[in-house]
């Protein structure tokens, strides 16, 4: 099959299945077919040649307004240039086929969207994808494309990876350029790949590395490919996060971690000190920075926001500076404590979410016999990790038949290679897998 035929088939499948799934908000049909033609003619080569991918609609896509899940942004002029990461993937031969649904302005853990409708979980269409990269999880989980891009400020790659049963990578803060994407919280925003295999997300991650002069927050790191060492042998020192990460979770979420731990030969537990305060700090900083970003829109067009986003942002606008400053100072302290753990271990395992995908519209959850509010607790285990920018490979695990769960494989800064290597071992052992949903 030629690349053009394959891309045409991909587009047809999306058109047939997506109306019931809600993953896509735009298709880039013409450019995708043109690009596929270039692959067929040998004008475009590379490790990802012909691989279709789609991006959360906060990425700039030339010719489309950058929605970021909002109604207000529909009035923006079309982007004149693709985001850096899209350019990198296409330089490696991948083919962009569309833009994906997301929670409004990325301030979301559910994948619900009042403007575009919810993205639906491909394994059970009545359930949430998780968010805010909900369309990215749905499109990959349904096998509409093998590779998607998402963003992760407090868990927005890792949560939908868990709920939709796909692999995800949240790289180290500052690793990948954020230029050409709509921001949320400058202190925590990350971008990364999601997909059906570890090799697939590793190849995409490798292709997206590289310095971008347009991103002033990007770290000055060399390109450090992960694919060549993905199947490397050798011991990995693995521990399970205890304490905070072993409480307030459904038994099956902890069972998923145990399965991964046994397969990786984990030797004990470590405690990330004051993880609850880390999450609280991330919560305060996110609300304040998000509110500052959107203040003008809140002043003039508040009624056009999703109410759930608007009410949190307006509350965030009223946060005293003192609270944010203390949270940022705590961040420094917490970072030093957690980095010290990596002197003894290479990787730390923790659940991605406390439970499986809830039903769409659900607002509370029973965990440990207690009813807890749903939205704020979905990110319970992801926020303390992105708070200090650690790289995480999120792997889908099913400890029993049913909807998937996720395990975070957390590494020291800049050691995405180790997190992906462990993810690959779990994939080879059959512990982690992303079977395409039957739709």
Active-site residue numbers? 56, 132, 156
Rounded to a whole number of angstroms, the minimum distance from the CB of residue 311 to another protein is: 4
Q: Residue 124 or residue 304: which is nearer to another protein going by CB?
A: 304
Cis peptide before 132 (omega within 30 of 0): yes
Rounded to a whole number of angstroms, the minimum distance from the CB of residue 376 to another protein is: 7
Q: Residue 125 or residue 276: which is nearer to another protein going by CB?
A: 276
Q: Residue 24 or residue 107: which is nearer to another protein going by CB?
A: 107
The H-or-E segment that residue 394 falls in is: strand 392-397
Rounded to a whole number of angstroms, the minimum distance from the CB of residue 170 to another protein is: 18
| Distance spanning both ends of the chain, measured CA to CA | 23
Kindly report each contact of residues 187-190 with a partner whose C-beta sits within 8 Å and lies 24 or more positions away, as own/partner.
187/285, 187/289, 187/328, 188/153, 188/154, 188/282, 188/285, 188/286, 188/386, 188/387, 188/389, 189/151, 189/152, 189/153, 190/151, 190/152, 190/153, 190/157, 190/386, 190/389
Alpha-carbon dihedral of residues 285, 67, 202, 346, nearest 10 degrees? Answer: 10
Rounded to a whole number of angstroms, the minimum distance from the CB of residue 283 to another protein is: 4
User: Which of 136, 125, 71 shows the shortest CA–CA distance to 99?
Assistant: 136
Residues at the contact surface with another protein, assessed by CB under 8 A: 187, 274, 276-277, 279-281, 283-284, 287, 295, 298-299, 302-303, 307, 310-312, 314-319, 322-323, 325-333, 335, 376, 388
Q: Residue 268 or residue 307: which is nearer to another protein going by CB?
A: 307
Give CA–CA dist 84/64, Å, rounded: 15
**What ranges make up the beta strands (E) of 76-189?**
95-100, 120-121, 124-128, 147-152, 167-170
Rounded to a whole number of angstroms, the minimum distance from the CB of residue 365 to another protein is: 16
Q: How many CB atoms lie within 10 A of CB 428?
A: 12
Q: Residue 333 or residue 414: which is nearer to another protein going by CB?
A: 333
If you search the block for the tokens 């590379």, which residue do you land on?
46
Q: Residue 1 or residue 318: which is nearer to another protein going by CB?
A: 318
Rounded to a whole number of angstroms, the minimum distance from the CB of residue 3 to another protein is: 42
Residue 203 near residue 46 (C-beta atoms within 8 A): no
């Amino acid at each position: 099959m030629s690349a053009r035929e394959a891309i045409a088939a991909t587009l047809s499948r999306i058109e047939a299945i997506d109306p019931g799934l809600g993953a896509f908000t735009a298709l880039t049909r013409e450019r995708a077919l043109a690009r596929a033609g270039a692959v067929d003619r040998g004008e475009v080569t590379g490790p990802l040649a012909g691989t279709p991918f789609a991006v959360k609609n906060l990425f700039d896509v030339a010719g489309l307004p950058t929605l970021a899940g909002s109604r207000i942004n529909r009035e923006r002029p079309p982007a004149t240039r693709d985001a850096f990461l899209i350019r990198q993937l296409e330089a490696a031969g991948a083919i962009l086929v569309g833009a994906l649904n997301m929670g409004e302005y990325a301030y979301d853990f559910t994948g619900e969207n009042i403007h575009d409708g919810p993205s639906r979980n491909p394994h059970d269409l009545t359930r949430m994808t998780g968010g805010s990269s909900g369309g990215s999880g749905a499109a990959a989980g349904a096998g509409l494309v093998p590779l998607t891009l998402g963003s992760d400020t407090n868990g927005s790659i890792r949560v939908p990876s868990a709920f939709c049963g796909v692999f995800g990578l949240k790289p180290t803060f500052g690793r990948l350029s954020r230029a050409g994407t709509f921001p949320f919280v400058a202190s925590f925003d990350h971008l990364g790949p999601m997909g059906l295999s570890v090799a697939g997300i590793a190849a995409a991650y490798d292709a997206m590395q590289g310095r971008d002069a347009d991103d002033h927050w990007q770290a000055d790191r060399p390109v450090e490919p992960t694919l060549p060492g993905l199947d490397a042998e050798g011991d990995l020192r693995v521990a399970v996060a205890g304490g905070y990460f072993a409480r307030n979770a459904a038994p099956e979420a902890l069972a998923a971690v145990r399965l991964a731990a046994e397969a990786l030969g984990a030797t004990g537990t470590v405690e990330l000190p004051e993880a609850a305060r880390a999450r609280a700090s991330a919560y305060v900083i996110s609300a304040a920075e998000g509110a500052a970003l959107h203040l003008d829109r809140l002043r003039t067009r508040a009624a056009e926001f999703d109410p759930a986003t608007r009410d949190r942002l307006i509350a965030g606008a009223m946060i005293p500076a003192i609270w944010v400053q203390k949270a940022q100072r705590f961040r420094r302290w917490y970072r030093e404590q957690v980095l010290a753990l990596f002197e003894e271990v290479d990787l730390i395992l923790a659940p991605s979410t406390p439970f499986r995908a809830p039903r769409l519209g659900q607002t509370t959850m029973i965990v440990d016999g207690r009813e807890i509010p749903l939205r704020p607790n979905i990110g319970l285990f992801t926020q303390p990790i992105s708070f200090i920018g650690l790289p995480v490979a999120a792997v889908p695990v099913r400890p029993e038949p049913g909807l998937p769960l996720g395990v975070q494989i957390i590494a020291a800064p800049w050691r995405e290679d180790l997190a992906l290597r462990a993810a690959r071992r779990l994939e080879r052992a059959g512990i982690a897998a992303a079977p395409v949903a039957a739709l």
